[in-house]
Structure 1
């Protein structure tokens, strides 16, 4: 079982991290940071598991004991219904003796020992809790006491309005006479009981105690409704009065607990103790006056206070969301609006049908049962709101269609006086039609639009993998940027606490994600801290376990991408080293032999220059890592050697804000660009001086090569292999190149790379 969502711990003293924002106070941050170091609770062992098993077994025994007791209660064996004039008609029976009286109106019951007790529409009312008038409620309870005495006799006389009399022998109803609805409602009550115990035992505290007050009260309501579903004319002994007082207590306690819970969670509002005290005092006072019989209009007071406290809870959640945009408050406010709205609708429908016994009876029986089942289901869902988006979406759709169907059913019965079967059928058809037509719109509203598409996600992962490989220390900021695009949170922080896997905290308002170790991208490598994300989609959505699994999968793919790139780069480095070694051992040795055997000094100089170029090339290929300053020194030496041979002067100037590492692709491309530009200045421009300037500011690299040769009008040049190769290599680095004529004479080539990053 999963526990209910947890709140932030009480404020402690300390300092919040820089940039933590204003939504999380200093004390809350320190307490919350301490919680990050805790591991999620494992499976239950010891006394909690044994206590849960014992309590569940005890509840099951209680239900079966109740069923056994009800099965022993006597019954007449007939179905009755209320007519429009308020009389009671024998509707259906399996008893051969009673079948002759089917369709007759029952006037009353008597026995040889007890006097005649009249029967009317009030007799078929299931619960005194839903009788509006106090006098009629008291009459109902007195009538039930008299009928219970009659049914306890061995024989019973049925008096019909036409003067006929039938004598029947009440028989035990047996387990088969309890009906399917009894077992379904008891099963739901057991589920509520089990979830409540698991929530309370998983993390005992005031918050879960409040949750238990609400859920256990609804479990009690479900048990009483289950008993009501077995009734014919008479309640089992002593239960009719208990039904009234217990259900009033359950409803008032649930209303006060709702105010208590929303005043404290998900965020404590100002003057919360005062609001809590007022809510519980009002509920206790109303219950005490009701039990003492000093409160006129008990039904109106209970319904009104329930609606008032429900509206107050919605207002408190709205206030809480303004103080802190927690999406859990929004979710509770939406469901709370449905609960309070249907409660008010049920109250209005029942009051409107007053004076119409049959209609009022249908509303009180069917409408109240649907409301209690829905409310109990909602309470069951609350601990699991942050577990699955699918569960929350489907329950939201179910809540919407149930609300519409119930509202239409009550409207058709109260306003148009339709029969029970007709109103239910028509309401279901209309609700299903609206559901089919609006399902996609509802899903779009619930799911929201995807902030990051799959294509964009893979693109960002690829970029992050390449940058993380070069600069592992930037893993945290890069992942923060990715998660900000993915979830649009109001707060996102990097903390030093280590977590094993992503997990959801604080009612689904917070997601804690471990930062993968990109220095050692192995699955078993320890994480490098955690990222704390709060209030997804600008505080409008809850984090769920699906979001936690999504982030784990994304980071796992990132880890694999980095590991794959490192493996590929290692293979490339080994291949380059092998090629460099082969060039040095084979081609280098042959060129050296050729240089010593050169017939002329000119040939010897040419071979010597070729050996120098080969040396530069093999050194660059063999090196696994280059830094810009080291590469610049090699370029200067190489160009100086080339220009000296042509009696051309070299001017060299570099300015780097930092000595960044560069990849082999960048080193090779820039080496060939510089060589080609120097060769052009010597061979075509006949320059006597070449000035080279290399500047790196932030990520902007600028390379300027200027000569004083005879070159003119570069726009009219034909781009052959040389100039075309320069353009191709600069484009490969993501930059631009341009040539222009300078005064008094000469050509300037400018290479500009806005985002100069390692590409290998």
Structure 2
């Protein structure tokens, strides 16, 4: 029966393996005798002191900070305590004799703790009696223990997650191998680095061997991974070279007189890291024409440079220089987890498009910190300044010199060309003012070519997102259609040298907002101009026409002059359209009655005018123009077309509206505005814009124009209010 490997089985196996490892480490840690205290080496001293005392432990009577020089066993044997007894990582001792002596002393101290079952121990110089418990409680395991446990679990589970996504890719399995190596190293280190005082030599040696194996297994997985991914650097049997060389080193250390080769571990780790960086450099050179691969390598390179560099500088380099490590081993494993998490994000292609910005920020921040430390050290040890002034001067130099230079370097390294505000405004305006759609699209594409320099621009016929969208992991930037412009898909920023980023998406969204606003504003302006042109044309037709017609039919010179002067006055008002003085309805009606009556009288047409009980309300300018236009245009049509001898005008306030009727006894007009020129159509549009109604009625003895215009509410009567 054939068994098929599935993502679920990989993940389940990794979870189970991680938990089994954790259970074994916790079991071994809690099987050791518990004294309820931890010791530390005092800087510059050959003695130890008490670092911590468990409140309810066997050493509860001791005080933290008290010296501890020796322990005396129940049989009277005195064991002098040395700083090397509490060293966190025995690999750092640097020589084989020192390492063998360390394991011998660990065996002696562990035996003394175990022998306390037969009687109490005595701690010198205080003389405090301690009776260790047979088991160390889980609650006494320190935070650094669980930190390393968490690092190991994260390594193996992240590796399994990536491998489950790419079951057929050897690179994914190498990533899992590296994660398992990280878990072995972190979990074994958690056991011996957080011991109280000692572990039995066989337990310590086993944990130390597992730690060395895990560390170098991590190196095998990482180096092989970069030989395969994202591009193959080597092929065939050369792919197995890291496993053969580093694996041979592991076997040599394990079987050839342990711990003879253990002091070589720092060198082995350093060489492995250098080889890893060299392989990453080869990947960068091979992927220089592939923005996606470069972005992915950016994640890898950034995580390795920061994580491995920090580990080498704080742990490995001080050991090589015969100095104590700058950080604890538990913190050092966090550097490896940083590398591993960065690789997981890169393989999962998480936000590759933002890597350039993040890389610059992280690297420049790291550079700023290193520069600050270097300046501080130079001023303190080189110029003999006090620590306070030296730190202040270092901060000032970094702020005044490095930070401004950092921004310029970021722009230069990214090689992004930003348009000035003036150039950007000119190009946005050019798109908004384009005459034809083809011209607008050409200028639109040209704008984004100048801003982002894409390798190509293609139409985007359909888009589900109404906003700017990053597609294909940043390989494309999609611009939705809007404001009459088509959707576009921009491929590869900066002529194919990088991916589009979130900053590019935000910039494109801002440009589209500004562009759509400019287009909308231009269209509103054009519509306003066109509306004003129509208004002038309509007012000329409705008002000027009737005055000129009356002047044409007038026989008296004085009346002709008066009509022409009125025509010129109305013409200036129509063109300028000022916000003139408000008109009271009765006054306006009286003026119109005199004007219309004079026009009709000149044509020998009798006028019947009715306008009783009109309210004292102030009309809006639009209503004033509309009322004038109805009576003037209606009178003009009556004079030109009706052949009437009598006209009737009726104005009345009814239900909050002004009812208007202009009727004659002539030949009659058609009720279709389109058959009688633009006049009646203009009147209907005017009335409807005011919120009123307009109709033309053909009667048996002529034509009637009827309209209703809304009136403002009447103001309160002061006399009536006082009387009430």
Check the 8 A contact 2:479/2:487 in 1, yes or no: yes
Check the 8 A contact 2:153/2:183 in 1, yes or no: yes
* Structure 1 match to 2:35: 76
Q: Deviations over 1:73-104 (max 9, x none)?
A: 43323343347899553445643665699434
Cα distance in 1 between the residues matched to 2:378 and 2:149: 29
Q: Deviations over 1:524-579 (max 9, x none)?
A: xxx7452112458x84x764334334323433543454455445545554554555
Check the 8 A contact 2:193/2:329 in 1, yes or no: no
Check the 8 A contact 1:513/1:548 in 2, yes or no: yes
Cα distance in 1 between the residues matched to 2:513 and 2:482: 11
Check the 8 A contact 1:259/1:276 in 2, yes or no: no
Label 1:342 to 1:187 Cα distance change in 2 as closer, same or farther (>3 A): closer
Structure-to-structure mapping, 1:307-326, within 5 angstroms: 307-320=273-286, 322=288, 324=290, 326=294
Decide which of 249, 256, 259 is 1:286's aligned counterpart.
249
Cα distance in 1 between the residues matched to 2:52 and 2:302: 46
Is the aligned partner of 1:255 residue 2:219?
yes
Post-superposition offset of 1:63: 6.2
* Structure 2 match to 1:170: 132
Check the 8 A contact 1:317/1:333 in 2, yes or no: no
Decide which of 558, 562, 566 is 2:515's aligned counterpart.
558
Cα distance in 2 between the residues matched to 1:291 and 1:411: 44
Q: Deviations over 1:157-191 (max 9, x none)?
A: 657798x9775211355455333444455556666
* Structure 2 match to 1:749: none
* Structure 2 match to 1:462: 429
Decide which of 277, 284, 290 is 2:240's aligned counterpart.
277
Is the aligned partner of 1:531 residue 2:490?
yes
Cα distance in 2 between the residues matched to 1:57 and 1:586: 94
* Structure 1 match to 2:87: 125
- The number of aligned residues is 522
Post-superposition offset of 1:466: 3.4
Structure-to-structure mapping, 1:174-573, within 5 angstroms: 174=137, 177-184=140-147, 186=149, 206=169, 208-214=172-178, 217-218=181-182, 221-228=185-192, 230-235=194-199, 240-265=204-229, 268=231, 271=234, 276-293=239-256, 296=261, 298-299=264-265, 301-320=267-286, 322=288, 324=290, 326=294, 329=297, 332-333=300-301, 336-339=304-307, 341-342=309-310, 344-345=312-313, 346-353=315-322, 360=323, 362-363=324-325, 366=327, 368-381=329-342, 383=345, 386-387=353-354, 392=359, 395-397=362-364, 399-400=366-367, 436=399, 438-446=402-410, 451-454=418-421, 456-467=423-434, 470-471=436-437, 475=441, 478-487=443-452, 491-494=455-458, 500=465, 502=468, 504=470, 510-518=474-482, 520=484, 528-534=487-493, 539=497, 543-563=500-520, 565-566=522-523, 569-570=526-527, 572-573=529-530
Cα distance in 1 between the residues matched to 2:471 and 2:279: 23
Post-superposition offset of 1:309: 1.1
Check the 8 A contact 1:151/1:170 in 2, yes or no: yes
Check the 8 A contact 1:465/1:561 in 2, yes or no: yes
Check the 8 A contact 2:121/2:131 in 1, yes or no: no
Post-superposition offset of 1:193: 6.4
Cα distance in 2 between the residues matched to 1:517 and 1:100: 71
Q: Equivalent residue of 1:75, what SS?
A: coil
Cα distance in 1 between the residues matched to 2:372 and 2:248: 35
Cα distance in 2 between the residues matched to 1:497 and 1:49: 40
Q: Deviations over 1:233-291 (max 9, x none)?
A: 1248975345433333343344344434444555x265466664333332222223333
Range moving further from structure 2, 90-99 or 426-435: 426-435
Gaps of 5+ in 2: 1-5, 54-58, 346-350, 556-724
Check the 8 A contact 1:110/1:116 in 2, yes or no: yes
* Structure 2 match to 1:670: none
Root mean square deviation of aligned Cα: 5.6
Q: Equivalent residue of 1:288, what SS?
A: helix
* Structure 2 match to 1:151: 113
Check the 8 A contact 2:190/2:330 in 1, yes or no: no
Q: Deviations over 1:348-385 (max 9, x none)?
A: 421221xxxxxx4x31x726554432342354345256
Check the 8 A contact 1:314/1:337 in 2, yes or no: no
Label 1:588 to 1:98 Cα distance change in 2 as closer, same or farther (>3 A): closer
Post-superposition offset of 1:214: 4.2
Cα distance in 1 between the residues matched to 2:552 and 2:243: 103
Cα distance in 2 between the residues matched to 1:484 and 1:288: 59
Post-superposition offset of 1:327: 5.3
Post-superposition offset of 1:451: 1.6
Return the index of the structure with the highest Cα Rg.
2
Post-superposition offset of 1:435: 5.6
Check the 8 A contact 1:159/1:165 in 2, yes or no: yes
Q: Deviations over 1:302-353 (max 9, x none)?
A: 2343243134134314523555573554665466445555555443421221
Check the 8 A contact 1:200/1:208 in 2, yes or no: yes
Cα distance in 1 between the residues matched to 2:309 and 2:545: 89
Label 1:238 to 1:453 Cα distance change in 2 as closer, same or farther (>3 A): farther
Q: Equivalent residue of 2:405, what SS?
A: helix
Check the 8 A contact 1:217/1:254 in 2, yes or no: yes
Label 1:583 to 1:56 Cα distance change in 2 as closer, same or farther (>3 A): farther
Q: Equivalent residue of 2:67, what SS?
A: coil
Label 1:138 to 1:387 Cα distance change in 2 as closer, same or farther (>3 A): farther
Q: Deviations over 1:453-475 (max 9, x none)?
A: 455444433333433x7325863
Post-superposition offset of 1:445: 3.2
Cα distance in 1 between the residues matched to 2:95 and 2:15: 39
Cα distance in 2 between the residues matched to 1:367 and 1:566: 68
Label 1:93 to 1:534 Cα distance change in 2 as closer, same or farther (>3 A): closer
Q: Equivalent residue of 2:481, what SS?
A: coil
Post-superposition offset of 1:514: 1.6
Cα distance in 2 between the residues matched to 1:366 and 1:305: 21
Q: Equivalent residue of 2:88, what SS?
A: coil
Cα distance in 2 between the residues matched to 1:582 and 1:210: 84
Check the 8 A contact 1:493/1:533 in 2, yes or no: no
Check the 8 A contact 1:79/1:232 in 2, yes or no: yes
Cα distance in 1 between the residues matched to 2:389 and 2:158: 35
* Structure 2 match to 1:18: none
Check the 8 A contact 1:186/1:226 in 2, yes or no: yes
Check the 8 A contact 2:479/2:488 in 1, yes or no: yes
Check the 8 A contact 2:155/2:180 in 1, yes or no: yes
Structure-to-structure mapping, 1:513-662, within 5 angstroms: 513-518=477-482, 520=484, 528-534=487-493, 539=497, 543-563=500-520, 565-566=522-523, 569-570=526-527, 572-573=529-530, 575-577=532-534, 579-580=536-537, 583=540
